[in-house]
Amino acid sequence: MSSEKFSFEETDRTEQKPEEESRPRILLVDDDDVIRAVLKQVLEMNNFTVSTAANVAESIHLIDTESFDVLVSDLHMPGAGDGFTVISAMRHKHPNAITMLFTGYPDLKEAMDAILLQADEILVKPMPVPEMVGLIRERLANRKTKRPTNTERVASILERDAGATIARWLDSVKTDEELARVKLSDEERTGHLPQLLRELVHRLRVPRPLGTKQASAGAVMHGHIRFTQGYSIPMIIEESRILQVSIFNTLQTNLSTVDFSLLLADVMTIADEVDSQLKQTIVSFSASGAAVAA
């Protein structure tokens, strides 16, 4: 994306500059470093407080941890998700925020207006910055309070229902003939799960690209413990499969409140994280076996 797609004319800055804390807060999302830097500067010169993000993961983290009055996002960005994902997250977390999406394809504007029912404004590039600033101020001046949606992010559901997920897992494990042969107390059998679920919830709240390698302390410890308890690698794999099923059963029981706008991305993240934990558990398990053999 080129910075030529915006017109950076001088805007009216004669009004008195308000205090920083009273300025409307804008989240600006664009993968182009130049556009992001210039737009941030111009918007701040027009008495807005601006936070920036270069991708969907950064955007969702900011949306989850900060409050905003306005979202200005490019529609098309590389990596997992795009402007649709960002706007859905903003609508869920901050329902009263003004949401604006940029598209570089003017011939698609009519279709975009029909599809992006959640967006307050579709901005077609190139657009003069003064016009954009005027639209933001107009939308803020006429903003109406929206009724909060009765939806929850997957991370919140899994955090809230961690106990129920573990209970489902334990029930399934106890009915598995091979796993049940290893005589353990419920605490010994489930001791690793709270940490693994906490790591999963954190991953959902602070997304990173699928396939990213990140150490899981819970998974490593789980591998060591399962070796001492007499498990085999196929048994560990079966436990992990049951964990995914238990997690998805928890989501199934919460379908009436789950935020469907990000459900697909969250499901992919769950599968990626559980598989990553499984690999680290097996590596730790094998290392424990090698140490004993040596």
- Domain spans, the chain: 3-141, 154-293
Rounded CA separation 89/61 (Å) = 10
> What's the pLDDT at 148?
54
- Kind plus residue range of the DSSP H or E element containing 191: none
φ, ψ (nearest 5 deg) of residue 128: -60, 135
How far is C-alpha 165 from the chain's CA centre? Answer: 21
Copy the structure tokens of residue 247: 């997690």
> What's the pLDDT at 100?
87
> What's the pLDDT at 10?
45
How far is C-alpha 241 from the chain's CA centre? Answer: 23
pLDDT digits (tens, 9 = 90+) for 38-78: 999 999 999 999 999 988 888 888 988 899 999 998 877 76
Split at pLDDT 50, 70, 90, the class of 150 is low
The three-state secondary structure class of 133 is helix
Copy the structure tokens of residue 169: 């897992």
Split at pLDDT 50, 70, 90, the class of 108 is low
- Rounded average pLDDT over 175-191: 94
- The Cα-based distances of 160 to 70, 166, 171, 263 in angstroms read 29, 12, 19, 17
φ, ψ (nearest 5 deg) of residue 152: -130, 145
> What's the pLDDT at 13?
45
Rounded CA separation 81/268 (Å) = 12
3-state DSSP helix/strand/coil % of the chain, to nearest 5: 60, 10, 30
CATH fold for domain 154-293: Globin-like (1.10.490)
Identify the residue whose tokens are 């409307």.
Answer: 24
> What's the pLDDT at 106?
55
Fold match between domain 3-141 and domain 154-293: no
**Single-letter amino acid, residue 123:** L
β-strand 98-103 against 70-74: which pairing, if any?
parallel
CATH number assigned to the domain with residue range 3-141, chosen from the 4 options 3.40.50.10190, 3.40.50.150, 3.40.50.2300, 3.30.565.10: 3.40.50.2300
> What's the pLDDT at 145?
62
> What's the pLDDT at 71?
93
Q: Residue 24: pLDDT above 80?
A: yes
Average pLDDT of the chain to the nearest whole number: 83
Copy the structure tokens of residue 156: 């919140």
